[in-house]
Amino acid sequence: MSDSQLLLTNNGRTDVVQWDNYSFVLNNQRIFLYSGEFHTFRLPVPSLWPDILQKVKAAGLNAISVYTHWGLINPSPEVIDFNDYRALQPLYDAAKEAGVWIVLRPGPYINAETTAGGIAHWVTSQVAGMLRTNASDYTAAWQDYIHGIINETAANQVTQGGPVIVRYMFTNTLTLDNEYTQYGFPGSAGYFADLEADYHNSSIVVPLTYNDPGEGRNFVNGTGAVDIYGLDAYPQGFDCSNPEVWSALPTNWHDYHENTNPSQPWYFPEFQGGAFDAWGPTAPGYEACRVLTGADFESVFYRALWASNGKLMNFYMVYGGTSWGALPYHGVYTSYDYGSSIAENRTLTEKYAELKRQGLFLRSSSEFYKTDWIGNSSTGAVVVSNPAAFAVYLRNPDSGAGFYIMRQTNSSSTATTEFQLNVQTSAGVLTLPQAGSNITLSGRESKVVVTDYLFGSSRMLYSTAQVLYAGVIGGRDVLFLYGDSSQEHEASIAFTGIPNMKASGPTISIQCDNRRDTTISFLPGLNGLVTVYDSSTQLVLFADTVTAGSFWSPVISGSGEFSNYWQFGTNTSILVGGPYLVRNATIEGPTLALQGDLETGVRLIVIAPPGLEEVTWNGVPVLADVQAASSLSSVGGFVGQLGMSLTAAHITVPSLTNWKYADSLPEIIRGFADTNWTLADHRTTNIPFPPYYGDGRILYGCDYEYCENIVLWRGHFNATGDEQSVNLSINGGEAFAASVWVNNFFLNTSYGNSTNDRHILEETDDKFHFPPGSLLPGQDNVITIVQDNMGLNETGSTPDASKSPRGVRGFQLNTGNFSEWRVQGKVGGYTNYPDKVRGVMNEGGLFGERQGWHLPGYDISSWTTRDLTEGLPNGTAGVGFFVTTFDLSIPSGYDVPISFNFDNSTQPYRVYLYVNGWMMGKRVANLGPQTKFPVQEGILNYKGTNTVAVALWAMENMAVSPSLELNIDGIYEGGVGGIVTNNPGYSPLERI
């Protein structure tokens, strides 16, 4: 019976997306949703989005999960902005071109280690009701944003020929909000119901989903219940300090699903694809996170999802990107690399190769999309000879194909475990291996033993080797197996056709048994690619694991509105080995055209349909090695050599010199006029965290539209001469700082703290003593505070935690009172900020920012020549701007990741790094850990002049000496091409 004839469930709004207890059925075809998280706002160059999508597709994934950011799209009341990097249509177009589905996650709350969890900053101060509930003013606040998402998305649903298949509520298919509890707060369930009603009263018809932050069974039934329930899981947590030490693998996922929503497919909307890193000198950095969640973690934990019979899963993150400007919440720094498979600078990591090996297996294995969970070795349903090994048995109820997923019983074990496995096959119960001695798990490793496995029209009785690829190429059934070269592996295949070649040698043993199957033993020491069997009807290949990871299987586009989508527009693919990345392949007449990237010269290996006369790489014909090709395959094989152009050796970046300097803290100079600043005279606030002391005035930045980055406060008082000190309680979030002056005398700096998410200090309460001679009795005196807002809190013990009281929570002279307070943040606040391209999160309130010194084209010719390493003049506390320009001339046809790198010394300064007007980094030198700041092409002009501005805040009366240099992080011949820069320059309009 075909899936179209089965009893399927849908949401009553469309039958294009349906489901049963196994998986999604899309356009009457069963799919395994294998997805990676990608936030376009963390890569603010839309012409680079196809690069990530092509890399996702090349890894065998068929979907991305995408958060949209309320605070960026709806920066102020009644303003909706889908321009530039906030746009959705370019993403939808690029996804359809790549053949990648989209699970859209518009929130409104998204968490995502972003300020206020994505809630628009204006909402945190203008809404009196509790956030993330059905409070009437909060409901009114998200209407424009959600209806904007609906309008942008409706025509891009799969029902309209688009890529969006699901919508996510509360983080995530369309997903609703994010990681929320159904009855945790009054009105929370009603909030979901209100969101659902808005979607149901619109032209959105795709299913709505939800991700539960824990095993709470939220929104499965009752008020606000969604179409598809999902569970988040981050089993290794978020401390990468000991990356070799694993937490145990949860073993109850299958049981939890069966007891929670057994009639729905098992969905993991967020599964750990890395980890975020925190502030502090002991923070381990993202490379440690990439080890903690590395290829061995993917091998064990991702396959454990399969073993729980999960068929819908998304890895958070597949590409993390950059939390530039004011995007981060206060717990994380600028980089959002996340230790993911694709690094922040868009390069591929070792994790990517394992992700690809798994992805290509899943794409090849349609029988795996529908399986019954039979049992495991702890229940006796599977017999394993060694209790140190653990196995789960899944079976396709229609075809009988079996999948035995094996790992160490102790998932953290690094031991070598050998065992035999009893499997059920069409030939009866067999003990594997049949000819060899053992199946081996080398430490943290998981494997899938397949039985009665289909490839093309052929069937493999069993294999202890892993399947990389199974399908049809040029009319022949093709199977590509792999395994570690230090282990033995075995497969039993019914060979067919007229044989042309059969492997032989000391590392391969082939023997026929009394069945029609042939048993192939792959012995330790086998490295590289081997043609096992080549006939008129079949091609069987084997490689070691590393070599298998260097292969790609690009999809050849078909026809129809889903021509680039596997299963829906095409079932044609080829095999390509060698290059750093294969982005695309097309066949036109006798020519196979490959597009991709090279990191170095490589041997090109191709398995394609017969009859091709030419293979091109990025448009250039490749000379064939006919003899090598004939040893690879009798037909359709191609071997050639790809080399890097000599141009690559001459790609360089300049040193950063010829810096110009200007003071950026005139506010401490006597006579500075702040009459145009905002008068801070509010006596009430919607922020539910009252001041600790003072005179009742509210000094919270968000109450005056200044939520982002640096905010300056000026408190005036008429001195009598008796004043000796001022007490200030300042809230800026983790790792913040606030420097305080009285008139032009530096008093001290209050430091927030975080040491790898420990010893957290979000606010300070300090007494600042006035030095002799600092006051002017009988005259106006000014307390000036330069305060950094590190981002608003995410939801904590209450949804209103995002209404963070960033600013001054207490102010008191030891005697006397303040006459007035003035406040200044970025120009225009969140309603009238002038830079509509870079948006509301880009700038802060420093004088230089308000003047536009960070923007390309600002005239610095009259500034003082001063090198950045000299720091501020006289070695005093303060703020200064250093600006220089440099030229790049990087040739077309290359992808060259570039980063800005500060020295790694510990000094009391903070730096705000602007590149062509974009705030691309915040360096906190007294805490760390980040010193390297990747900046993408498109922000950088690779064929012209670039402006770099460094706002240097020295936080003590001592000399600081930052250094900064450009580095090339890799040279890749190829790239996605067509990168567009959009870096508006300086204009005096609206600057103050």
User: Which H helix or E strand runs over 712?
Assistant: strand 709-718
Q: Per the omega criterion (within 30 degrees of 0), is the bond before 317 cis?
A: yes
Contact 63, 102 (CB under 8 A): yes
Tokens of 971: 């040279």
Which residue in 270, 284, 192 sits closest to 242, CA to CA? 284
Residue 78 Ramachandran class (φ > 0 left, ψ -120 to 50 alpha, else beta): left
Tokens of 95: 């996804």
3-state DSSP assignment of residue 492: strand
Backbone angles phi, psi at 451, to 5 degrees: -135, 145
Backbone angles phi, psi at 70, to 5 degrees: -55, -45
For the chain, what's the residue count?
992
Q: Which of 37, 113, 196, 270 is catalytic?
A: 270
CA distances (Å), 788 to each of 120, 196, 361, 737, 955, in order? 19, 38, 48, 6, 12
Backbone angles phi, psi at 631, to 5 degrees: -80, -20
- Distance CA(565)–CA(165), nearest Å, equals 13
Residues in a beta bridge with 520: 491, 510
Query: Where are any strands of DSSP class E within 171-291?
Result: 174-177, 208-212, 228-231, 266-272
How far is residue 643 CA from its own chain's centroid?
32
Backbone angles phi, psi at 636, to 5 degrees: 75, 0
How far is residue 333 CA from its own chain's centroid?
15
Which residue in 67, 45, 89 sits closest to 939, CA to CA? 45
- Distance CA(479)–CA(541), nearest Å, equals 6
DSSP 532-586: EEEESSEEEEEEEHHHHTTEE-PBBP-SSTTTTSBTTTB--B-EEESSSEEEEEE
How far is residue 303 CA from its own chain's centroid?
21
3-state DSSP assignment of residue 632: helix
3-state DSSP assignment of residue 263: coil
Q: In what order do the strands lie in the sheet with 678-679?
A: 678-679, 820-824, 709-718, 780-789, 737-742, 745-751
CB 507: neighbour CB atoms within 10 A?
A: 17
Q: Which of 152, 179, 488, 490 is catalytic?
A: 179
Which residue in 125, 138, 122 sits closest to 75, CA to CA? 122
- Distance CA(205)–CA(13), nearest Å, equals 5
CA distances (Å), 388 to each of 417, 448, 607, in order? 7, 17, 39
Query: Three-state SS string across 665-681, please?
Result: CHHHCCCCCCCCCEECC
Count of alpha carbons within 13 angstroms of residue 33, beta-carbon side:
32
- Please give the biggest Cα pair distance in the chain: 108
End-to-end distance of the chain based on CA atoms, in angstroms?
71
179 a catalytic residue: yes
Pairing between strand 17-19 and 24-26?
antiparallel
Catalytic residues: 179, 270
